[in-house]
Amino acid sequence: MPINRVFQSLSCVTLFALCYIHLQIQIVNLAYIGKKKEQQVRQLTEENGHLSYNIAMLKSASHLGEKLLQENSGLRFADPRRIVQISAPPDKTTAQPAAASAPAASAAEKDNPMLSLLSLTKE
């Protein structure tokens, strides 16, 4: 019957309309959340700026000079003739970290059979 068709069509249209409105509301909600996050980020950026300024001020030559050189601390620039430079051979500085990590790795593999299995497949 045509009246049934009309009701069906109207129901479909209403349903789609409701879905559309729901989506739009979700978009607006997300917009509010996004704005809130943006404000948080902005606040953190501002805090970062203030902290950066404090760090820069504490590290500045004026501040360090006042604290170290002027408050009768006895600190002075080192005479280059009194500085002895010691160069460590490269193998002693680079080999040790690898050697230190190797036993730790094998211990981890012992505790976890899955790891050792993976090691086998890697090899």
**Spatial CA neighbour of 11 closest among 26, 3, 1, 22:** 3
End-to-end Cα distance, the chain: 75
The 8-class DSSP code of residue 112 comes to -
Residues in contact with other proteins, shown as a per-residue x/- string from 7 to 46 under the rule CB under 8 A: --------------------xx-xxx-xx--x---x--xx
Q: Residue 75: helix, strand or coil by DSSP?
A: coil
- Report 58-97 residues binding other proteins (CB under 8 A): 59-62, 65, 69, 77-81, 83, 85, 87
What count of residues does the chain have? 123
What tokens does 50 get? Answer: 């203030």
Q: How many residues bind other proteins (CB under 8 A)?
A: 31
CB closer to other proteins out of 43 and 106: 43
Enumerate binding residues for other proteins (CB under 8 A).
27-28, 30-32, 34-35, 38, 42, 45-46, 49-50, 52-53, 56-57, 59-62, 65, 69, 77-81, 83, 85, 87
